[in-house]
Amino acid sequence: MSTPIDPRRIVASGYDKIALRFQEWGANLRIEERDRYIQVLLDHATRGMPLLDLGCGNGLPFTKQLAERYRVTAVDISPVQAKLAARNVPRAQVICGDMSNMHFPPESFDAISAFYSLIHLPREELGDFLGRMTRWLRPNGLFVGCFIAHDMPGDIDDWLGAPMYWSGYDSQRNRELLRAAGLTIHSAVEEHADEDGQDVVFLWVIAERTAV
């Protein structure tokens, strides 16, 4: 009998293995895109606002930038990445764990960021997670994050020298799930970039929790 696939174990062990290589690989990729969406969060901030960063990686440079204005709680499933983030961003509270199993009181955060992390969540769980995530936001709280922009039931590839799991829906379905979760979408744009000779597309979303 074959062993069931555990996406979380694949993602955690994969990022553990490629931690340093991933930092080097991503240093010069999608820079303008990432800077633009980080700026949206920075423009939203009043110093000391609580922000939840889902999938913080090693914390550089984005969690560190956010921590200059926000009181950041950062989550990453990879023990190696979380350890690096705690060292690189001492002002943030870094939690090593599965974001989909996190529990925070309702209305804990003024903003939530999810840069390249929701793409690793099994898509069957995405709608439920977005609903819980929205409840962590205060009314009119801001969400900025990205999603896979095409139909992907769940795929495992060798990536940067380690197995990695990806899953997601097309852009229209992502928009539907966000609205169902109680978010008002201000912007949902498919962003293209060349990654190792391939056109890789993410749906980047700026959304707000609908005021009660």
Local confidence pLDDT in tens for the 212 residues of the chain: 445 689 999 999 999 999 989 999 988 899 999 999 999 999 999 999 999 999 999 999 999 999 999 999 999 999 999 999 999 999 999 999 999 999 999 999 999 999 999 999 999 999 999 999 999 999 999 999 999 999 999 999 999 999 999 999 999 999 999 999 999 999 999 999 999 899 999 999 999 998 76
CA-to-CA distance for 206 and 178, rounded, in angstroms? 10
Could you give the strand order of the β-sheet that contains 198-209, starting from the edge strand earlier in sequence?
93-96, 70-76, 49-54, 109-114, 137-148, 198-209, 183-195
> How high is the pLDDT of residue 211?
77
> How high is the pLDDT of residue 3?
53
**CB 28 within 8 Å of CB 196:** no
Domains of the chain with bracketed CATH: 7-209 (3.40.50.150)
> How high is the pLDDT of residue 1?
44
The CB-side HSE value for 201 (13 A sphere, CA atoms) comes to 12
CA-to-CA distance for 150 and 210, rounded, in angstroms? 26
